[in-house]
Structure 1
């Protein structure tokens, strides 16, 4: 298995960092797990931002996974290049979550664009 495939697995579980922060730092913490979505909708501050980071991470993961698969299937890119792009993407997602939690909106948006550029890069190196 390649490093890039391991990065896909990491990307699948990465949103749960946001989940843990959102549920663990909420005003009262998640005491009743019967309706966690309602609980998450009522959060404020860093817990609310953690939930937003979680949701964005869930949204971008399929695109990343597809890009890694396309790069492998196309077979035109060097494996080292694919692996480096994958590690850079995971790094960008970690930075994105940190920026979201810290409420650094402009930097967060820049990091998001970098991550999307990295996803596109998988396609460009596969040509």
Structure 2
């Protein structure tokens, strides 16, 4: 199994630290109504939940890009590098989101999306 394929697994769980921060970073989490609880958050905990939701949004296209790159036999070194860069940028994105640094966060988001696009391009 390649590094890039392991990155799909890692990306699938990338939301967990952020949802953990949102749910257990203070206050009383209500597991009977988790969506209502998360909707009522504010400040950095609300941003942590937003990171979680955005992680779910970013995952499918990244996973597809890695799988397409494998199916079309793109250069494995480049695929692995782009997959690792995507993960790193998504972690940076999350940290910047928690820190409320919107412009830098957007740059990290664009960088991660560029990795996904590059995975498709190198597969062509």
Under TM normalisation by the shorter chain, which class is it? Answer: over 0.9
Unaligned runs of 5+ in 1: none
What corresponds to 1:72 in structure 2? 70
Is the contact between residue 25 and residue 46 of structure 1 (CA under 8 Å) also seen in structure 2? no
Q: Following the alignment from structure 1 to structure 2, what is the Cα–Cα distance between the partners of residues 109 and 79? A: 28
Q: Following the alignment from structure 2 to structure 1, what is the Cα–Cα distance between the partners of residues 120 and 72? A: 9
What corresponds to 2:81 in structure 1? 84
Following TM superposition, by how much is the alpha carbon of 1:51 offset from its aligned partner in structure 2, in angstroms? 0.2
**1:30-71 CA deviation, whole Å, 9 max, x = no partner?**
1x3101000000001010000000000011001100000010
Instruction: Name the SS for the 1:103 alignment partner.
Output: coil
Q: Following the alignment from structure 1 to structure 2, what is the Cα–Cα distance between the partners of residues 99 and 7? A: 21
Unaligned runs of 5+ in 2: none
Q: Following the alignment from structure 2 to structure 1, what is the Cα–Cα distance between the partners of residues 28 and 76? A: 44
- 1:94 maps onto 2:91 in alignment: yes
Aligned equivalent of 1:59, options 53, 57, 60: 57
Is the contact between residue 4 and residue 82 of structure 1 (CA under 8 Å) also seen in structure 2? yes
Following TM superposition, by how much is the alpha carbon of 1:17 offset from its aligned partner in structure 2, in angstroms? 1.3
- How many aligned residue pairs are there? 124
What corresponds to 1:104 in structure 2? 101
Q: Following the alignment from structure 1 to structure 2, what is the Cα–Cα distance between the partners of residues 59 and 82? A: 21
What is the TM-score with the length of structure 2 in the denominator? 0.97
Matches within 5 A, 1:1-127: 1-26=1-26, 28-30=27-29, 32-75=30-73, 77-127=74-124
RMSD of aligned alpha carbons:
0.8
